[in-house]
Amino acid sequence: MAEKIKVIICGALGKMGRITAQAVYNDPELELVGLADINGGGESLAQIINGEIIPQALSLTVENDLEKLINQVSVDVIIDFTNPHSVFDNARAALKNSIAAVIGTSGLNDLELKQLEKLALENKTGIAVIPNFAIGAVLMMKFAQMAAEYFPDVEIIEYHHNQKIDAPSGTALKTAEMIREIRGTEIPELREEIEKIPGCRGGEHEKIKIHSLRLPGFIAHQEVIFGGMGQGLKIRHDQFERTGFMPGVLLAVKKTVNLSGLVYGMDNLL
């Protein structure tokens, strides 16, 4: 029997972290060996979340120092669901110790991605930065890229829960980048606009308007809306439960431990 892949989860007390802990524990190819969170203080999950996760995993304590935890346990990969302020340091801590990293936290800029890629290559270790783990979201982005060849006029609307602190989402940014690859430099000319309220036309990435909504009740949703002569096309993906991300998370872990360097986007792991 092959040795299990040993996993630490960063952001273990967050909603995604808790669900990921259960998914990792239940996967026969993975072993949950550590939990880290800035709000952790050495308590067990049982003390903190009142048994929301399977009992066998509750004996693990939640530590607030990832580097210290890395030195205490044998680990192959970290999964990061923290926040834009912590993700870079967490990824760097893993890579410099030759530990693979699966990043589900958005907020890394181009300079940070280049630094992490360099560090991964130097340590012959893999890092996967995944804006969206949902297979349906990957297909949505791919379909949007295909449509952009025929409908160059496009805008993106993304909807997330009101606890998400960064905007736009990594999925929206990735979608715009994929569309730009197809559209190239032939960008539709935009007439001069007057915004009566600054910002009401949304932000812009790769010359594509992106609109971000943050409301209670939503999880993760995105529409890519194309307009053409006498017609329109809307491509939409809805994530109704966070458990829908888990097949992608587990697949990313199993792929990334065998990589060297950086992979960006779930589509490049499939």
pLDDT of residue 82: 94
CA-angle at 35, arms to 6 and 116, nearest 5°: 70
pLDDT of residue 5: 97
Query: Can you tell me the mean pLDDT for 259-268?
Result: 92
pLDDT category at 174 given cuts 50, 70, 90 is very high
pLDDT of residue 1: 57
CATH code where residue 261 lies: 3.40.50.720
95 pLDDT exceeds 80?
yes
Residues 94 and 39 in one domain: yes
Catalytic status, residue 160: yes
Percent of the chain with pLDDT over 90: 70
Counting every residue written for the chain, the total comes to 270
Residues 143 and 206 in one domain: yes
pLDDT of residue 222: 98
Report the predicted TM-score, pTM, of the whole model to 2 decimal places: 0.81
Half-sphere exposure of 232 (CA within 13 A, CB side): 8
pLDDT category at 193 given cuts 50, 70, 90 is confident
Three-class DSSP category at 194: coil
pLDDT of residue 192: 80
Residues 39 and 90 in one domain: yes
pLDDT of residue 187: 67
Catalytic residue, from 96, 161, 164, 209: name it: 164
How many structural domains does the chain have?
A: 2
Measured over all CA atoms, what is the biggest interatomic distance in the chain, rounded to whole angstroms?
65
Residues 250 and 123 in one domain: yes
pLDDT of residue 84: 87
Residues 104 and 65 in one domain: yes
One DSSP character per residue, 113-155 reads HHHHHHHHHHTT-EEEE-S---HHHHHHHHHHHHHHTT--EEE
- 173 Cβ partners below 8 Å, 6+ apart? 106, 131, 205, 210
Residues 39 and 84 in one domain: yes
pLDDT category at 22 given cuts 50, 70, 90 is confident
pLDDT category at 104 given cuts 50, 70, 90 is very high
Catalytic status, residue 221: no
Residues 123 and 142 in one domain: no
Residues 176 and 60 in one domain: no
Residues 107 and 151 in one domain: no
Residues 103 and 153 in one domain: no
Query: Can you tell me the distance from the alpha carbon of 228 to that of 231, in angstroms, rounded to the nearest whole number?
Result: 5
Residues 162 and 234 in one domain: yes
Dump pLDDT digits (tens) for 46-66. 666 555 555 555 578 889 999
Residues 224 and 261 in one domain: no
Dump pLDDT digits (tens) for 128-162. 999 889 999 999 999 999 999 999 899 999 999 99
Which residue range forms the structural domain that includes residue 212?
Answer: 135-239
CATH code where residue 157 lies: 3.30.360.10
Report whether 77 contacts 253 (CB < 8 A). yes
One DSSP character per residue, 28-47 reads TTEEEEEEE-TT--S-BHHH
pLDDT of residue 112: 96
pLDDT of residue 61: 86
